[in-house]
Amino acid sequence: MAEAENFIQDIIDADLAAGKVAAIQTRFPPEPNGYLHIGHAKSMFVNFGTALKYNGKCNLFFDDTNPSKEKTEYVDAIRRDIAWLGYRWENEVYASDFFDKIYAYAEQLITAGKAFVCDLSAEEIREARGTLTEPGKESPYRTRTPEENLKLFREMKAGKYADGEKCLRAKIDMASPNINLRDPVIYRILRATHHRTGDTWCIYPMYDYAHPICDFLQGVTHSLCTLEFEDHRPLYDWVGIELGFAPKPRQIEFARLNLTNLVMSKRYLKKLVEEGSVHGWDDPRMPTLAGLRNRGIPAEAIKDFCSRIGVAKAQSECEISYFEAVVREYLNLHAPRAMAVLEPLKLTITNYEGSEEVDFEINQLSEGAGTRKITFGKTLYIEKGDFSLNPPPKYHRLKLGAYARLKNAYIVRADEAVTDENGEVIEVKCTYFPESHSGSDKSGIKAKGVLHWVNAETCIDAELRQYDHLLRNADYAGQDFSERINLDSEHIFQAKAEPYLAQAPEGTAFQLMRTGYYKTCKEGGMSVLSEIVSLKDNFNK
């Protein structure tokens, strides 16, 4: 057996050694009430990853016990996102597949005197629950006989009572220090059309009760979930023990992934979508897997990130810049290089005529990537910010009388700046030095700056989109998401780009030299370059 990589594997190794389990099975349990986000990628990494490690199985388990919030649209999106990350589930299972059995188990608990029908309202139950320091009060309905409870529960199922009029509660301990054990509600009456069972049911099991049953019925040996379920584990165990599950699935909790500058709550993400603050669930600024995919983040980089942050028991917050660094590292190795200018400034080479092909390295870090030809010419575009009439000290880009190299081509000297009526530079006239060609420079001229450029004759127009984080730093304006949300986080430039970028298959990730990593796509016939991640760490920009 390979060495354990985290505390979960330590526990599993011990269970295997003790003969408690033979084969390992896990499940990834999303609730289909929204799109998956990067936090779920960590949960998948843990659940699918653990199964893989032990040659076990991992099911896709849809926790659909809350019919008012669940939709088939979400089920489809979740499936697509898991497949995109490259995980394969053994079986696709729904809590609703087990509604009959979950119901039968409830009758079993009632018969054993372990559950009772309660007439208190949700409000009254809450009031009687007690606090961390005070025990709760027992319900006056707690002493109903199993026969009476069974009759009432069947009537609940048959639709005799209104929503909320009665519920089924486990009979555990109103004085337990763990509030989850104070006779928790395990079934409620709710008339809502379920996305799979329609109107068959008007009672639905509560998550804490249904989950251990579904785990057991699927053959899950280790139920891996996040730390907020730690306090629910005693109830998870209670259900398994009372119903005599053998082998009883074992719940193990790990820390959630929290990332700075990202909202990671489905509820809040849904609000952003519904209020139109973003373009949709797959907006490139969204931390949803659909958003990250649309952004152009490679699935491999997400998995690599999950593997590097590890699985721990202690809660922590990860810097978004670390995630970005992992993405950048991947793209640096894999993305072909190309050139585009965000804010084009015309550059004319007065002593150059015609055009020529120059070699351009596709990716110097990727062995065998080779070179391609790009067309150099008399009229080019460079970045507006790469020329200055009033340069600050140590300005190594282009300024009047100074030299700079045009990437993979020649050294030029800026001779004259043409300005418009507002004094804005609209064109730079240059001299080039024929001896200075990259790779065979015999000019003896020193040029510190290397500028990217595109050929004005052959370039294409492209809409270039840059993104800021959707959430400003926590110190910006309090901790509340709504105060930190940055609605002005999409910036659009009318860029000029190499024609090569329009020929690439849609969705290809490029490193735009000196600019960043960008994905190509077409929108209504228009070429779009959409930022995946900046070239340098711009976390504090």
- Residues in the site for ligand ATP, rule: CB under 6 A? 29-31, 39-40, 42-43, 225-226, 256-257, 264-267
Candidates 199, 210, 233, 234; CA nearest to 105 is 210
Q: Which of 248, 266, 293, 399 is catalytic?
A: 266
CB atoms within 10 A of CB 440: 8
In three-state secondary structure terms, 156 is helix
Written as one letter, the residue type at 225 is C
**Among residues 78, 106, 99, which one has the least CA distance to residue 196?**
99
Long-range contacts of 501-507 (CB under 8 A, 24+ apart): 501/338, 501/340, 501/460, 501/462, 501/527, 501/529, 502/460, 502/462, 502/527, 507/296
Beta strand pairing call for 379-383 and 340-341:
unpaired
Q: Which of 526, 490, 534 is nearest to 506 (CA)?
A: 526
Q: Which residue's Cβ has the minimum distance to ligand ATP? A: 39
- The three-state secondary structure class of 2 is coil
Nearer to ligand ATP, 262 or 409 (CB): 262
Check: CB of residue 437 under 8 Å from CB of residue 502.
no
Nearer to ligand ATP, 208 or 531 (CB): 208
| Smaller CB separation from ligand ATP, 11 or 120 | 11
Nearer to ligand ATP, 65 or 149 (CB): 65
Among 445, 461, 252, smallest CA distance to 344 is for: 461
Complex with ligand ATP: residue 30 or 344, whichever CB lies closer: 30
| Strand, coil or helix: 332 | helix
Residue 266 is a catalytic residue: yes
In whole angstroms, the minimum distance from the beta carbon of 49 to ligand ATP comes to 12
Shortest Cβ 225–ligand ATP spacing (Å): 4
Nearest distance from C-beta of residue 331 to ligand ATP, angstroms: 24
31 is a catalytic site residue: yes
Distance of closest approach, residue 40 Cβ to ligand ATP, in angstroms = 5
Torsion of CA 339, 469, 228, 12, to 10 degrees: 10
Residue with Cβ nearer ligand ATP (48 or 99): 48
Residue appearing with tokens 């653990």: 50
- Between 267 and 373, CB nearer to ligand ATP: 267
Which of 5, 31, 148, 463 is an active site residue?
31
Q: Which residues pair with 522 in a beta bridge?
A: 527
The Cβ of residue 22 has, within 10 Å, a number of other Cβ atoms equal to 9
Q: Which of 256, 270, 271, 429 is catalytic?
A: 256
Output the smallest distance, CB 78 to ligand ATP, in A: 8
- CA 148 to centroid of chain Cα atoms: 49
State the minimum distance, in angstroms, from the CB of residue 167 to ligand ATP: 22
* Shortest Cβ 192–ligand ATP spacing (Å): 18
Residues recognised as catalytic = 31, 256, 266
